Amino acid sequence: MTKSAVAQRVDEAWIRALPKAEVHIHLEGSLGLADLLGLAKAAGAQLPFPADRLFGGATAGAGDGAETGLSSFLRFLDWGCGLVATPEQASSLAYRFAARQTASGIRYTDAIVNPGHWGQWTDRVPALFAAFADGFDEARVDGLAEVNTCVSLSRGQSASSARELVEQITESRPPRVVALSIDGDEHRSGPVSHRFAEAFSLARDRGLRRTVHAGESSGPEGVRDALDHLHAERIDHGIRAVEDPALVGRLRDQQIPLGVCPRSNVALGLYPSWEVHPFRHLRQAGVAVTLNTDDPAVLGTSLETDWSVSSQIWGLDRSELRDLARTSVTASFADDDLTNRLLAEIDAIDVSEASENG
């Protein structure tokens, strides 16, 4: 009998008390039902689906394949974020995001934000990120989680618009922007290194960190492309690297972290179940994997829930979850002081059986 077959599920309350970071979560997919209903009412906008089935409608079509499900999902994000019109609305969303992260025991977050979803901010992208920073700053003052942002390119945009966005961000330097990212539909867009290599080189030269969505609906070649041409320091998803043992060895040897999101992968039809998801295999191979929620509001989950599910399905005990928390922090773009402080707190967590009952 395998370890996972007899494993007990670690209590979510214990997981919430475990300091940790989240490195693959989209602000766009974290807007709650109350957020979206309030924004729609303020804008006088019609809901794309009935309120009680709003998030279910967002993922409709996922069972028909990754392209159909992801495309439907991205259109839903465009709708919700397109309702945000004022700095006050953006700041309020950022504050509530930090509050929800804090409620899960998340102490630091690299939040991915793709300006392409925020339709009313096309000509004022730095102002959007400044508004988010105001909300995150207020959250920090109130004792909530520390949150920084990763500006994300859309896979379908042009090389010139990608470079223009990087120039805009690095020249205006909105607070709390720490990295450049790419997200979107790999299946539809294909390799992007030929278009985005210049933008990522510029980001590196101007001090931004780099993380790339790859190895989701594309195969291991997407991961290799991000490493070879985009100076990726972290791969978001990256799960299909498991199909190439040499690439798995490279990720292990170079300690390139993966921001893995199993619930999202299953919801979008990339894997039929958690049981066959490659997270555990990649971790056992020595890859620095982290476990994240991707778009928690739309997927109806929280980080402590997904960590608890993983403990039972993959047989992760409290000691292994503490190791996972350490990896989440070292994989993040948190500054050195916060990283060291969080690691010390994590190492002090009691993982004995008695700690859960006492």
Q: Alpha-carbon distance 187 to 295, whole Å?
A: 19
CA separation, residue 6 to residues 13, 118, 316 (Å): 21, 46, 11
* pTM of the full structure: 0.93
pLDDT band at 353 (very low <50, low <70, confident <90, very high): low
Q: Is the pLDDT of residue 79 over 70?
A: yes
**pLDDT reported for residue 357:** 42
Beta bridge partners, 181, equal 152
Please report, for residues 191, 205, 246, the alpha-carbon distance to residue 219 in angstroms, rounded to integers and kept in the order given. Answer: 11, 29, 14
Q: Where are the alpha helices (DSSP H) in 85-147?
A: 87-103, 125-141
Write the CATH number of the domain with boundaries 3-352.
3.20.20.140
- In the numeric block, the tokens 């299909």 are attached to 240
Is the distance from CB of 177 to CB of 125 less than 8 angstroms?
Answer: no
CB neighbours (10 Å) of residue 191? 17
In the chain, where the domains are located: 3-352
Query: Which of 354, 262, 356 is CA-nearest to residue 313?
Result: 262
What local confidence, expressed as pLDDT, does residue 56 receive?
81
- For residue 283, what are its two tokens? 């971790």
pLDDT in the model for residue 69 = 61
The pLDDT value given to residue 139 = 98
Q: What is the mean pLDDT of residues 187-205?
A: 87
pLDDT at position 66 is 43
Bridging pattern class, strands 258-260 and 20-26: unpaired
Res 62 pLDDT > 50: no
Per-residue pLDDT tens over the stretch 241-256: 999 999 999 999 999 9
- Whether residue 151 contacts residue 177, with contact meaning beta carbons closer than 8 Å, is answered with yes
Minimum mean pLDDT range among 147-151, 219-223, 274-278, 304-308: 219-223
| Residue 64 confidence (pLDDT) | 45
Residue 128 backbone dihedrals phi, psi, to 5 degrees: -65, -45
Give the other-Cβ count within 10 Å of 353's Cβ: 10
How does residue 184 score in pLDDT terms, banded at 50, 70 and 90?
confident
- Rounded to an integer, the average pLDDT of 59-66 is 50
Q: CA neighbours within 13 Å on the CB side: how many for 225?
A: 22
pLDDT for the residue 241: 97
Range of lowest pLDDT (9-13, 189-193, 211-215): 189-193
Q: What's the pLDDT at 186?
A: 75
Is the pLDDT at 3 greater than 70? The verdict is no
The pLDDT value given to residue 356:
46
Confidence of residue 119 (pLDDT cuts 50, 70, 90): very high
Mean pLDDT, range 33-37, rounded to an integer: 96
Residue 193 confidence class, pLDDT cut points 50, 70, 90: confident
Give the pLDDT score at 63: 45
Selection from 250, 246, 316 nearest residue 279 by Cα: 316
What pLDDT score does 128 carry? 98
CB-side exposure of 289: number of CA atoms within 13 Å?
Answer: 26
Distance CA 53, CA 69 (A): 16
Q: At a CB cut-off of 8 Å and minimum separation 6, what does 264 contact?
A: 293, 294, 295, 299
Instruction: Over range 203-229, report the average pLDDT.
Output: 94
pLDDT tops 80 at residue 75: yes
Q: Mean pLDDT of all residues in the chain?
A: 92
What average pLDDT does the segment 164-183 reach? 97
Confidence category of residue 2, pLDDT binned at 50, 70, 90: very low
